[in-house]
């Protein structure tokens, strides 16, 4: 059974930092394309950052220079370090694992940035 369990969300002030974690079971994060998405109220889910199995990284323009995705193969976990947070970063953040024919989502973790 595949599980992606996000943690690390919460309430933070403008300019603050949070580190999200996605603990995976049933998938091996080093061989999947792992990504973080977010969905704000009334908006579509959008890609925040992704990392391929080969280590190629992609960021949304809105978070470049502020967010960093990383992978801990030993712990089978993916992280999203979020710095210089802004109110517009407020959303539910989801972990996603993708491989040919396999597509999994976590339950999400709420991030709220106060101004």
pLDDT of residue 75: 98
- For the segment 61-88, the average pLDDT, to the nearest whole number, is 98
* pLDDT > 70 fraction of the chain, expressed in percent and rounded: 100
Token pair listed for 102: 């396999």
Q: Are 95 and 6 in contact (CB under 8 A)?
A: yes
Q: In this structure, are residues 19 and 79 in contact, taking their beta carbons and an 8 Å threshold?
A: yes
Average pLDDT, rounded, for the chain: 97
* 8-29 pLDDT, tens digit each: 999 999 999 999 999 999 999 9
Query: SS in 3 state form for the chain?
Result: CCEEEEECCEEEECCCCEEEEEEEECCCHHHCEEEEEEECCCCCCEEEEEECCCCCEEECHHHCCCEEEEEECCCCEEEEEECCCCHHHCEEEEEEEEECCEEEECCCEEEEEEC
- State residue 35's pLDDT score: 98
Mean pLDDT of all residues in 96-115: 96
Give me the mean pLDDT over the 108-114 stretch: 98
How does residue 95 score in pLDDT terms, banded at 50, 70 and 90? very high
Q: What is the pLDDT of residue 72?
A: 97
């Amino acid at each position: 059974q595949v599980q992606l369990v996000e943690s690390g969300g919460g309430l933070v002030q403008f300019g603050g930092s949070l580190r999200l974690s996605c603990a995976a079971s049933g998938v091996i994060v080093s061989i999947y394309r792992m990504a973080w998405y977010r969905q704000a109220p009334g908006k579509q889910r959008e890609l925040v950052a992704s990392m391929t199995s080969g280590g190629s990284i992609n960021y949304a323009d809105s978070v470049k220079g502020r967010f960093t995705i990383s992978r801990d193969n030993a712990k089978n976990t993916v992280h999203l370090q979020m710095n210089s947070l802004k109110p517009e970063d407020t959303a539910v953040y989801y972990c996603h694992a993708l491989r040919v024919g396999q597509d999994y989502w976590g339950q999400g973790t709420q991030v709220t940035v106060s101004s």
